[in-house]
Amino acid sequence: MHVVTISATYGAGGALIGPAVAERLGVPFVDRAIPAAVADDLGITLDDALSRDEQVGGWLSRLLTATAPLSAEWMIGPDHPRAVLLSDAAVLRCTEGVIRKAVGGEGAVILGRAAAIVLRDHPGAFHVRLDGDPDRRVRQAMALQGMRERAAREAMDRNDRARTAYVRHFYGADAASPQHYDLVVDSTRIPIEACTEMIVSAARSCGGKTG
């Protein structure tokens, strides 16, 4: 089985390269299935799970946000929504469990969620980082998603900050550090198809296969 983790900055093409690599390797691509599984395991809604997906934020701030338009009696009552009161640690443990379960069968390509760190001790996992110059990432996002420059730049700043904060907060690590990866690729200079081929070839030949 093949196990590949992909960490990608905004505009680096992870959402295109990940599925293409998975198809070439004959394994599932796992991205949005992670918050869906977390929601099922914790008994919360998918929207609640998505609001915690690769995000840093304490339960108290979520409680205050959720109860802002409501009465003080509700705030001190016993029936707070489960999703609001769940600790970040509980959601993180569940997310890590979903990732490990996903690669425990036929293998998988995992996008994001600090999977390279979660699976750093997995004997056959191959870890990839996709990145590039910010201006080129903005242009690539504009081309791939049909966005205007301002929207793409704002989305890049927002997403990059959130993912960097997530890895630093929960793992005390720098998501951009090459020490976490077997392969680092500038996917704004190398075409998407070539990046896919490079990752597939490297994963097949450099330990991305176990069993």
The string of pLDDT tens digits covering residues 131-149 is: 999 999 999 999 999 999 9
Specify if 62 maps to a domain. yes
Specify if 211 maps to a domain. no
Report pLDDT for 17: 97
Instruction: With H, G, I as helix, E, B as strand and everything else as coil, classify residue 144.
Output: helix
Report pLDDT for 210: 46
Specify if 173 maps to a domain. yes
pLDDT at 12 over 60: yes
Q: Report the domain count for the chain.
A: 1
Specify if 210 maps to a domain. no
Spatial separation of the C-alpha atoms in residues 53 and 93, rounded to whole Å: 12
Specify if 186 maps to a domain. yes
Q: Which amino acid is at 182?
A: D
Strand partners, 130: 8, 185
Question: What is the CATH number for 48?
Answer: 3.40.50.300
Whether the model pTM is above 0.85: no
Q: Which two tokens stand for residue 70?
A: 């409501």
Spatial separation of the C-alpha atoms in residues 188 and 166, rounded to whole Å: 24
Spatial separation of the C-alpha atoms in residues 60 and 85, rounded to whole Å: 8
Report pLDDT for 80: 44
**Looking at residues 11-30, what average pLDDT do you find?**
96
Specify if 135 maps to a domain. yes
Distance from chain centroid for Cα 191: 22
Spatial separation of the C-alpha atoms in residues 202 and 5, rounded to whole Å: 13
Specify if 36 maps to a domain. yes
Pairing of strands 107-111, 2-8: parallel
Instruction: With H, G, I as helix, E, B as strand and everything else as coil, classify residue 20.
Output: helix
Report pLDDT for 190: 96
> Domain range for residue 20?
2-205
Strand partners, 3: 108, 125
High-pLDDT (> 90) share of the chain, %: 64
